[in-house]
Amino acid sequence: MRAIVRHTRPRNASLWNDMDRLFNNFFEDLPQDGFYAPRVDVREEEGRYLLEAEIPGFSEKDVDVKVDDNLLTISSVNVENSGKTEARYLVRERKIREFSRSFVLPKDVDNEKISGSFSNGILTLTMEKRPEAKPRQIEIRQEK
């Protein structure tokens, strides 16, 4: 014969759930097997779009930006110098770091007028809009 046992949640269950979420979110951001996905912000301004990507530990020489039709790809493979060393590592997670992020560009972006800059681990891409895509004032004349 089986006994029916009433299940009650511990009084501090929400604290445990919060802690689980905290640690799960923390470890989601860590690179897995050397793969890193930079976080980006994209905003629209008058006449252009701006994309800012956080790429700490990389330099402008490490980052490759390509546009193919309307697909923008930001990528990098950063291989640590593989010279011989006498050090014996217990944990080695920084040997290879790579990432690739792709974005479908809006149709109003002029692919020929995309520029980029890199400062303090932030890649900024400026994507100008085509002139015909910019809003324009239409003159209304009075008929005589």
Mean pLDDT, the chain, integer: 78
Within a 10 A sphere around the Cβ of 72, how many other Cβ atoms?
Answer: 20
The per-residue pLDDT for 4 is 58
Which pLDDT tens digit goes with each residue over 1-34? 555 555 455 555 566 666 666 665 554 554 555 5
Domain ranges for the chain, please list them.
36-133
DSSP designation for 132: G
Distance of CA 91 to the CA centre of its chain: 26
- 């701006």: which residue's tokens? 50
Q: Exposure string (b/e) for 9-47, b if CB count within 10 Å is 16 or more?
A: eeeeeeeeeeeeeeeeeeeeeeeeebebebeeeeeeeee
What is the token pair recorded at 32?
A: 């897995």
| CATH dotted code for 36-133 | 2.60.40.790
Which pLDDT tens digit goes with each residue over 62-93? 899 999 988 999 998 766 655 556 678 888 76
Query: Using CA atoms, how far apart are residues 11 and 83, in angstroms rounded to an integer?
Result: 55
